[in-house]
Structure 1
Amino acid sequence: MKFKALLLAAALSTSALAFAQESKKFGPPAGNAVIGDTYGGGIASNAESKAVSVEKLSKKLKKDNKKAENIAVKGKVTDVCEKKGCWLTIQTEDNSQFFVKMKDYAFFVPTALKGKNVVLEGTAERKVTSVDEQKHYAEDAKKPQAEIDAITAPKEEIRFVANGIKVVD
């Protein structure tokens, strides 16, 4: 009987240790985001050559009733979710930004992607983002509380759902 109790205690201790180790894995993936690295389902071999600028994407969305599917876009990453690497922002030509989520929450990117130029492949649309959602993402980005509190109105912006992302320079 004592042997079974000892065996049970050992099994529980091992399980607790495994769960503790697993909890350390939460957060963005490790990596330096070097040229050629891909995340997600990858991108088509010709995506880089057919990628449009953010400015052209914006014009296309205005013309095509606010949505563009299977499109490749090239831009510079300005921010990455520090909690999980589950979203990023891309800088536009007019120094505004657009928001990128990963399709089906299926992959994440390292924070080292910040400052890198990437090609994204996926779906883009113009969307109104609520105040609550804007504040949530500002909190994820660890923005100062004053900046979070200053968010008081919904905003229309480009939202991109990426199937794949490739670091290009």
Structure 2
Amino acid sequence: MSFTFLAIAQPPAGDAKPGETYGEKINASDALSFADVVKKVKGGNDFTNVKFTAKVTDVCPKKGCWLKLEVPQGEEVMVKMKDYAFFLPVAAKGKTVAIEGEVFMKTTSVAELKHYAEDAKKSQAEIDAIKEPQKEVRVTAKGIVIVD
């Protein structure tokens, strides 16, 4: 007799309450403004280790393996977890977080952009409309703490 178990990937459970940490343990003290960090990165300065605060606008509904952050100019910035080592609950959407990690410019391929659109459950028309790579600010997080 043989049994097959199917594990369905899903984001971690939880309410993403203030003080909860994901990945490396960090705190929000001495965190920079994310708008200032983005401005410097767009000006050619990458950060290999920086701590900043920002509002979460979206979380991967499949696993919590990526999130998007609000930038005051109406943009969003994609965050991935370092070494795919931790995930964030979808309850973090709309919350302010402090993130420590790397911030840099990246050209994201059409295939990767379509993958994220599929994860975010975008319509097929929206996915098909992705035709060109996109140069964007990216974050690789090593630790995240919920601020409020």
Normalising by the smaller structure, the TM-score range is over 0.9
Distance (whole Å) between structure 1 residues aligned to residue 88 and residue 39 of structure 2? 28
Partner SS for 1:74: strand
Equivalent of 1:108, from 80, 87, 92? Answer: 87
Do residues 88 (structure 1) and 71 (structure 2) align? no
* Contact 2:58-2:68 at 8 Å conserved across structures: yes
Cα deviations by residue, 1:103-130 (Å, 9 ceiling, x for unpaired): 0000011111111110000001011111
Higher helix residue share: 1
Higher strand residue share: 2
Q: How many residues align?
A: 148
**1:80 counterpart letter in structure 2:** V
In the other structure, the counterpart of 1:50 is: 30
Do residues 137 (structure 1) and 120 (structure 2) align? no
In the other structure, the counterpart of 2:131 is: 152
Larger Cα-atom Rg? 1
Identity %: 51
**CA displacement at 1:59 relative to structure 2:** 2.1
Q: Which has the higher contact order (CA 8 A, sep 6+)?
A: 2
Unmatched runs of 5 consecutive residues or more in structure 2: none
**CA displacement at 1:66 relative to structure 2:** 4.1
Partner SS for 1:142: coil
**1:106 counterpart letter in structure 2:** A
Partner SS for 2:127: helix
* Contact 1:60-1:68 at 8 Å conserved across structures: no
Unmatched runs of 5 consecutive residues or more in structure 1: 1-8
In the other structure, the counterpart of 2:13 is: 30
**CA displacement at 1:54 relative to structure 2:** 2.2
Q: TM-score, normalised by structure 1?
A: 0.82
**2:147 counterpart letter in structure 1:** V
Do residues 59 (structure 1) and 42 (structure 2) align? no
**1:113 counterpart letter in structure 2:** A
**2:22 counterpart letter in structure 1:** Y
In the other structure, the counterpart of 2:50 is: 71
**1:127 counterpart letter in structure 2:** K
Q: TM-score, normalised by structure 2?
A: 0.93
Q: 4+ runs of 1 displaced by more than 2 Å? A: none
